[in-house]
Structure 1
Amino acid sequence: MRFRILFIFIICLGFFSCKKDASEEANTEIIPEDPYVVPSDSIPERTSASALNLDEYQLFIDTTKTSVFYRNLDSVIISEEKKHQNAIFKLVELKKYKDQFLFYEPCDGTINRYYISNEAIDIYGKHENVSFELKDFMIKAGNQVLFRDKRDRSLKLKEVNEVVLQLKYGEDLAPVYVTSVKNIAQFEMLVNNCLDKKVREFDEFQE
């Protein structure tokens, strides 16, 4: 009788041990990487948009400067310029990647645009369009242009090279690189073509 009880105990112990091992194996199973999340070590390919299947996710540097992405940007700016004919500066945001200035077409939103007149700065961007009133004067100091808004925050434009400026507005926002809307054809565009899938934005840009 004792041997029979011992035998049953050993069988039960083996069963629970196998169940535990299977559970631990399931818990340590490697979950495959989400194909719609941009890996942190992604290296954008330099190519033309026409060489890619744009019905699929693509991260690339568009070298054509005539693709649908450029045409869309041109169309938006042409429409906005009609509303900002008095703007002294009509600017588009740039990013710096591997010491090269280029546009970045994000997965979520659009490339930021800035229209600066003596009266206001209008910003069109990723999530909303905003406008801030400026005092009606402008100071030029060396390679900088200085404004102040109604809340006494400074707006600075500093020359980086012949076609690139650095824009700094207030103390809370990081400076950004910009160029005139007339210079769009001089820059390539890094495109995060995510279609209707939400992916992480490319974040390997230089300050």
Structure 2
Amino acid sequence: MRKIIYIVIIFGILASCKQKTEPQQSENKPTEIPAWKIDLDTIVERNNPQSLDLSKHQLFIDTTRNSEFYTKLISWEPQNEKNDVMYFYRNTLSKNKTLNEIDLQNFPTLWTTIRKLNGEFILYQRCDGIDKRIEITNNAIYFYGPLESHADAINQIIKLSDEGIKIELKAKRENGEINAMFSITNTEHENIYYLQYDSENGLFQELIIPTNKASEFDLIVNNCVQMKRTEFNGFDKIDYNE
């Protein structure tokens, strides 16, 4: 009986040592890809939206200049944008009787970001939200964007002509009030303007067009219906020093 007990103990020790020395095999789990990143087209083709099934995801260049996507872009109204932050700004600024007011004359008041693809200027209809839009009123400038929106009060107008506008702004931020210089200047390309927003936080630059001129350009549409898709990021890098 004692012999049997010794044998059992020895086998137990050997089994324990084997478990400790055997390397643990790591589980090779497949990388999970979010559903909204799957099957995003990388080649953008020119197409008439009427020939596409718009009940599912489509990424294409709309060249019709009069489709529902163009109508949506051109008829965009800031007041219809569901944005609590901008509603607060608009409500606050409209009640501020101390703001300076300027006469914009016939200068365009609604502006839209324009991009470049393969050297050509092109607009973009995002899957989620809108590309940056700018609204200039007689006492403030409103910046609408896909990530963050804000508004700055106008301090004074520096320059206004058919070629562009330059305005000094009072911008309220979390750390207090800062001065900013806002300018829109025409370029050598018809209906293409250069935007500069210069403040102590840095220089922001972008190419923009008057929103009512959208039908002069092609439009990339990222039509996502059932689920969010990643945004198209194959646009050209713009050299603002050209």
TM-score range, shorter chain: 0.7 to 0.9
1:167 equivalent in structure 2: 195
User: In structure 2, do the counterparts of structure 1 residues 152 and 128 end up closer, same or farther at CA, with 3 Å as the change threshold?
Assistant: closer
In the alignment, which residue of structure 2 is the partner of 1:193? 223
Partner of 2:135: 115
One-letter amino acid of the counterpart of residue 164, structure 1: I
CA RMSD of aligned residues (A): 3.7
Q: Aligned ranges for residues 1-207 of structure 1 at < 5 Å?
A: 27=28, 30-31=30-31, 36-37=36-37, 42-77=42-77, 88-89=107-108, 90-127=110-147, 129-139=149-159, 145-150=165-170, 151-160=178-187, 161-171=189-199, 172=202, 174-205=204-235, 206-207=237-238
* Alignment deviations for residues 8-34 of structure 1 (CA, whole Å, 9 cap, x no partner): x9xxx9xxx9xx8xx66x61x655865
Give structure 1 stretches of 5+ with no counterpart.
Answer: 1-8
For normalisation by structure 1, the TM-score amounts to: 0.72
The amino acid that maps onto 2:144 is Y
In the TM superposition, what is the alpha-carbon distance from 1:166 to its structure 2 partner? 1.5
Task: Count matched residues.
Answer: 192
d(CA) in 2 for partners of 1:76, 1:99: 27
Structure 1 residues 35 and 92: CA distance shift in structure 2, 3 A: same
When structure 1 is superposed on structure 2, of 100-109 and 66-75 the one drifting more is 66-75
Check whether the contact 2:111–2:208 (CA below 8 A) recurs between aligned residues: yes
Q: Distance in 2 between matches of 1:96 and 1:193?
A: 19
Structure 1 residues 119 and 38: CA distance shift in structure 2, 3 A = farther
8 A Cα contact 2:73 2:211, kept in partner: no
Q: Highest Rg: 1 or 2?
A: 2
SS of 1:70's equivalent in the other structure is helix
Q: 1:52 to 1:182 in 2, by over 3 A?
A: same
The sequence identity of aligned pairs, in percent, is: 26
Instruction: Provide TM-score, normalisation by structure 2.
Output: 0.63
Per the alignment, do residues 65 and 55 of structure 1 end up closer, same or farther by CA in structure 2, a change over 3 Å counting?
same
Please state whether the residue corresponding to 2:156 is helix, strand or coil.
coil
> Does the 8 Å contact 1:106/1:201 carry over to 2?
yes
Gaps of 5+ in 2: 1-13, 81-89, 91-102, 171-177
State whether residues 153 and 170 of structure 1, in contact with CA within 8 Å, keep that contact through their aligned partners in structure 2: yes
Q: 1: CA distance between counterparts of 2:39 and 2:56?
A: 16
Distance, in Å, in 1 between the alignment partners of 2:56 and 2:67 is: 16
Cα deviations by residue, 1:163-207 (Å, 9 ceiling, x for unpaired): 101112134463121111231110111111122412221112222
Given that residues 40 and 230 in structure 2 are in contact (C-alpha distance below 8 angstroms), is that contact kept between their aligned partners in structure 1? Answer: no
Asked whether the equivalents of residues 60 and 220 of structure 2 are also in contact (C-alpha less than 8 Å), the reply is yes
Q: Shift of residue 132 of structure 1? A: 0.9
